[in-house]
Amino acid sequence: MRNAGRSQVRVLPEQPAVPPSRAGRSRSLVDAEALVALHRAARELLRDLPGLTDRLMAVLRVEEPTYRVLLENDAAASWHEAHRSLEHSVGSLLGSRATRDAARSCSRKIASAWAEQGRPLEALLHAFRLGGSLVWQALLAATSRRDPEDVRLLVHVAGDVWAFVDEHCAITADAYREAQRRQAWRRENHIRLMTAALLEGTTRIAELPEAAAALELPEQGRYAVVAVSAASPFAAGHALPVGAPPGMRILWHAGGTVELGIVAVGDARLEQLAEAFGERPGSGRRIGISTAVEGLAAVGEARRQAETALRICPEAGGTVLLRDHLASALLVAAPELGAALADRVLGPLLVLEPSDRDLLLDTLAAWLECDGSAQRAAERLYCHRNTVLNRLRRCEQLTGRSLARPADLVDVSLALTARGLLHRR
């Protein structure tokens, strides 16, 4: 009893080390035996695949809420999807490259279908892991029934089995997100096409309700179209400039060098829309705004008006509300007639020396812009009032038009406008 509290150390005789070559052969032999055991168990699972599928459905019904709903609504479709996945997954354990590729393809297809149907990715990944756990337990059970001693061999392939599960979870996640990207692209492209059709005026009446719902715009109501010559800071989605009236909504569409916006005006005034954009001469950005039209069906006409307003807008920049420039719009809409008018009315001035021609035309334009005030025109041109009057009399003599006669004054004003607009083109 004297040594009862002391540790007993037993010295074992030294064992000869296993030569590396023999150790390698031993490891290879164990791996080979483990694969044989794995393949034998996998074949047994394949023979009872419907039963394995039933067990997986029972687990999913308890463990995964999404599958619980799916099984209540369409149990047959969920069962066949799980059966197909298990068939490829268990089959791939047999080591054939073709079966492994087929299993990957199956996982991708299932993930794509889930994304298309709007089902959550997390639920699918959870199902894959539950399925992997069930397959591993079934492999152990099948091996234990046949030869309990072989169960220890499966330890050597456990890492490979779970690596397979991890791989397919990654494949599933990638395929799901890729399907989501395709969905988003199709949705965005569909919206672009519907918006373009509205702006072109090619949308059929029967298609208007669908377009209104997809674009989140009312089918009826007052609309206008905004055309912007340069890249707009607002031209994205439904963005409006700060200061736009409450309740007004806009949908932007890239039209090459011009950005177009479909505006649901509501009860707001178009002047409020023009003020919200607030472009001023010299900004470099030109904006044209159509008149108000009724309903989405008339948006194509509004787009043509907005583009006309944009052509009227000065090159230096600014905002043009078409209804305030209807005479100019007529000239732009019929450029041949505008050119003929400018040539007929201003022809005698146009053949002068450039410096003399520009001096008279600038004076005439300034006088008209100053509402016929020679004094204000002189201040703008940095000259004397009498100088302005002398130049105007010379214009009357050369053109044969009297600026005191309303009809002649209209002709001169339209001719000047036509020349200015068409000269820019």
**Using one digit for the tens of pLDDT, what is the confidence trace for 220-259?**
999 999 999 865 555 555 667 666 778 888 999 987 788 9
Instruction: Show which of 324, 348, 363 is a domain's final residue.
Output: 324
Lowest-confidence range among 10-14, 88-92, 259-263, 311-315?
Answer: 10-14
pLDDT at residue 284 is higher than 80: no
How many CA atoms are closer than 13 Å to the CA of 126, on its beta-carbon side?
16
- My answer on whether 137 and 41 are in the same domain is yes
Q: Which residues contact 151 (CB under 8 A, 6 or more apart)?
A: 140, 143, 144
d(CA 137, CA 152): 13
Q: Is residue 189 part of a domain?
A: no
Q: What's residue 171's pLDDT?
A: 96
If pLDDT is split at 50, 70 and 90, which confidence band does 424 have? low
Report the CATH number at residue 412: 1.10.10.2840
Cα 138 to chain centroid distance, Å, stands at 47
Which position has the token pair 């008006």?
305
Mean pLDDT within 357-384 = 94
- My answer on whether 407 and 284 are in the same domain is no
Q: What's residue 219's pLDDT?
A: 94
pLDDT at residue 25 is higher than 50: no
d(CA 207, CA 62): 45
- My answer on whether 77 and 171 are in the same domain is yes
pLDDT at residue 163 is higher than 80: yes
Sign of the torsion angle spanned by Cα atoms 41, 46, 52, 53: positive
Cα separation values, 192 from 31, 260, 400, Å: 58, 12, 54
If pLDDT is split at 50, 70 and 90, which confidence band does 7 have? very low
Residue 278, Ramachandran bin (φ over 0: left; ψ between -120 and 50: alpha; else beta): left
DSSP β-bridge partners for residue 286? 318
- My answer on whether 43 and 107 are in the same domain is yes
- My answer on whether 41 and 156 are in the same domain is yes
Which position has the token pair 């068409």?
422
Helix (H) or strand (E) holding 370: none
Count the residues in the chain. 425
Helix (H) or strand (E) holding 142: helix 121-146
The 3-state secondary structure of 247-260, one letter per residue: CCEEEEEEECCEEE
Mean pLDDT within 147-156 = 89
Q: Is residue 2 part of a domain?
A: no
CB 418 within 8 A of CB 312: no
- My answer on whether 274 and 338 are in the same domain is no
If pLDDT is split at 50, 70 and 90, which confidence band does 47 have? very high
Using only C-alpha atoms, the chain has a radius of gyration, in whole angstroms, of: 41
Q: What's residue 411's pLDDT?
A: 92
Take residue 50 and report the two structure tokens written for it.
């419907």
- My answer on whether 34 and 169 are in the same domain is yes
Q: What's residue 3's pLDDT?
A: 41
Q: What's residue 203's pLDDT?
A: 96
Q: Is residue 163 part of a domain?
A: yes
Closest CA to 273 of 315, 231, 238, 321: 321
Q: What's residue 30's pLDDT?
A: 67
CB 248 within 8 A of CB 269: no
The predicted-structure confidence for 267-280, as pLDDT tens digits, reads as follows 899 998 888 887 66
Lowest-confidence range among 217-226, 313-322, 415-424?
Answer: 415-424
d(CA 154, CA 100): 20
If pLDDT is split at 50, 70 and 90, which confidence band does 6 have? very low
Q: What's residue 257's pLDDT?
A: 81
Q: What's residue 304's pLDDT?
A: 95
Q: Which residues contact 160 (CB under 8 A, 6 or more apart)?
A: none
* Number of domains composing the chain: 3
Report the relative pairing of strands 286-289 and 318-321 from DSSP bridges: parallel
If pLDDT is split at 50, 70 and 90, which confidence band does 1 have? very low
d(CA 312, CA 341): 17
Q: What's residue 17's pLDDT?
A: 38
- My answer on whether 39 and 176 are in the same domain is yes
- My answer on whether 118 and 140 are in the same domain is yes
Instruction: Show which of 168, 183, 198 is a domain's final residue.
Output: 183
Which position has the token pair 């164990």?
30
pTM of the model: 0.68
Q: What's residue 281's pLDDT?
A: 59
- My answer on whether 150 and 240 are in the same domain is no
- The boundaries of the domain holding residue 172 are 24-183
d(CA 228, CA 239): 14
Calculate the average pLDDT of the chain.
Answer: 87
d(CA 166, CA 387): 90
d(CA 320, CA 229): 12
pLDDT at residue 24 is higher than 80: no
The predicted-structure confidence for 61-118, as pLDDT tens digits, reads as follows 999 999 999 999 999 999 999 999 999 999 998 877 888 899 999 999 999 999 999 9
DSSP helix/strand/coil, 262:
strand
Instruction: Show which of 324, 345, 375 is a domain's final residue.
Output: 324
Take residue 230 and report the two structure tokens written for it.
């340069």
CB 266 within 8 A of CB 247: yes
Lowest-confidence range among 27-36, 43-52, 217-226, 344-353?
Answer: 27-36
Mean pLDDT within 178-192 = 94
Q: What's residue 98's pLDDT?
A: 84
Take residue 225 and report the two structure tokens written for it.
């179209």
Sign of the torsion angle spanned by Cα atoms 357, 360, 366, 367: negative
Mean pLDDT within 213-219 = 93
Mean pLDDT within 328-342 = 88
